[in-house]
Amino acid sequence: IFRYLKGTADACLKFDRTDKGLVGYVDSDFAADLDKRRSLTGYVFTIGSCAVSWKATLQPVVAQSTTEAEYMAIAEACKELVWLKGLFAELCGVDSCINLFCDSQSAICLTKDQMFHERTKHIDIKYHYVRDVVAQGKLKVCKISTHDNPADMMTKFVPVAKFELCSSLVGIVV
C-alpha cells in the first residue's frame, strides 16, 4: 500500500471547463471472487471529464450469468446516479436525463424491457429498480466499447497502457 501511495503522490483530479454534464460508466467482472464466486461491480461518475463519484465492490449475491452481473452493476450505479442527480439539481438547477455507459448490450436490453423472461426471471426484483428510472426518463443506458470504458480499471487487472487511458478518461493526471 505504501509503495502505491508513494508512486501516486503526484496524481490529482483535473477539472476542465466543458459542457459535459454528469456522465456515468459502469462495469462488472463476472465471478471475480474466487472463493465465493461473487462478481465485482465498478462505477465512476464524471462532470467535465473529471471523476466526482466512484466505487468498486463485490456484489452481495452470486450472479448466474455475465448479463446478470452487468445488470446488477447497472442497478447499483443507478442508485448512486439518482442521488447525484438530486444533488446537482439542488445545486445547479439542472435536471436532465443522464447517460450511463455499459459494455454489455444484453444488460442494456434488460434495462429497457419491462417483460420478464424465462432466462431472467430469477433476477431479484430489487435490481429491476433501474427499469423504473429508465422509464421515467431520468437515465439512459448506452453502449460503450469495453476498450473505452474507464470503469474497466475498477473491475479487472488491466495493462499499464489501459490503466493510463482509463485514468485520463476520468480526469486523473499523474
Asked if 76 and 42 count as a contact pair (C-beta separation under 8 A), the reply is no
- Counted domains in the chain: 1
* Helix (H) or strand (E) segment spanning residue 109: helix 105-112
For residue 111, being part of any structural domain is answered with: yes
Percent of the chain beyond pLDDT 90? 40
Question: What pLDDT is attached to residue 112?
Answer: 85
Question: What pLDDT is attached to residue 10?
Answer: 81
Question: What pLDDT is attached to residue 115?
Answer: 59
Cell 474507464: give the residue.
Answer: 150
pLDDT in tens, 89-100: 888 877 788 999
Global pTM value: 0.86
For residue 70, being part of any structural domain is answered with: yes
For residue 3, being part of any structural domain is answered with: no
Question: What pLDDT is attached to residue 21?
Answer: 84
Provide the domain limits for residue 85: 11-173
Question: What pLDDT is attached to residue 117?
Answer: 63
Instruction: Share the mean pLDDT of the chain.
Output: 86
φ, ψ at 85 (rounded to 5°): -60, -45
For residue 130, being part of any structural domain is answered with: yes
Question: What pLDDT is attached to residue 122?
Answer: 59
For residue 4, being part of any structural domain is answered with: no
Question: What pLDDT is attached to residue 42?
Answer: 96
pLDDT at 114 over 70: no
pLDDT in tens, 64-87: 889 889 999 999 999 999 999 989
pLDDT in tens, 126-159: 777 888 899 999 999 999 999 899 999 999 888 8
**CATH number, domain containing residue 137:** 3.30.420.10
Asked if 98 and 81 count as a contact pair (C-beta separation under 8 A), the reply is yes
For residue 2, being part of any structural domain is answered with: no
Burial class (CB in 10 A: 0-12, 13-18, 19+), 173: exposed
- Label residue 124 by pLDDT band (50, 70, 90): low
Closest among 67, 78, 43 to 122, alpha carbons compared = 67
Question: What pLDDT is attached to residue 58?
Answer: 93
For residue 157, being part of any structural domain is answered with: yes
Question: What pLDDT is attached to residue 104?
Answer: 93
Question: What pLDDT is attached to residue 151?
Answer: 93
For residue 41, being part of any structural domain is answered with: yes
